C-alpha cells in the first residue's frame, strides 16, 4: 500500500493514506476484546479505581516523606518530627489498607 500511495499523484497522497488507514482499521479486531490490552485498560483508569490504588499511593508517599522528615528534624525538630509521624502514619495506612484488600477480595467487584 505504501508503494501505491507513494506512486500516486502528490496532491492525492494524503487522501490515499487516510483511505488506506480506514481500510486497515476496518479489518483489525477490536482492541478491547483482546486480553493483551487488559493491562493498558487498567492503567487508563484513575488511580483510585485501580486495585490497590490507596495502598500504593499512601505507602509510597510515606516512604518518601519519612527520610525527608528525618533530615528536617536535624534543622528544625518540630517540623521534622511532624513529617516523620506523617510518613510513618501513611506507611501504616498503606499497609493496613493492603491487608484489608487482600482479606476482602470481592470488595471492588461490586463497585464496577
Domain-wise residue ranges, the chain: 1-44, 46-112
Cell of 95: 499497609
pLDDT band at 103; cut points 50, 70, 90: confident
Q: Which band of pLDDT confidence, cut at 50, 70 and 90, is reported for residue 82?
A: very high
Sign of the C-alpha dihedral computed for residues 22, 27, 33 and 37 taken in this order = negative
Report the distance separating Cα 2 and Cα 13, nearest Å. 10
**Per residue in 42-69, pLDDT tens?**
666 554 454 556 677 888 899 999 999 9
- Kindly state the average pLDDT of the residues 22-29: 74
How far apart CA 54 and CA 101 sit, in angstroms, is 10
Amino acid at each position: 500500500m505504501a508503494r501505491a500511495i507513494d506512486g500516486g499523484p502528490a496532491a492525492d497522497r494524503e487522501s490515499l493514506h487516510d483511505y488506506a488507514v480506514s481500510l486497515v482499521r476496518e479489518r483489525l479486531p477490536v482492541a478491547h476484546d483482546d486480553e493483551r490490552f487488559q493491562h493498558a485498560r487498567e492503567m487508563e483508569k484513575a488511580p483510585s479505581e485501580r486495585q490497590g490504588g490507596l495502598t500504593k499511593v499512601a505507602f509510597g508517599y510515606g516512604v518518601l516523606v519519612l527520610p525527608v522528615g528525618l533530615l528536617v528534624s536535624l534543622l528544625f525538630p518540630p517540623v521534622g518530627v511532624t513529617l516523620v509521624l506523617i510518613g510513618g502514619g501513611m506507611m501504616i495506612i498503606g499497609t493496613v489498607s493492603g491487608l484489608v484488600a487482600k482479606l476482602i477480595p470481592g470488595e471492588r467487584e461490586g463497585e464496577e
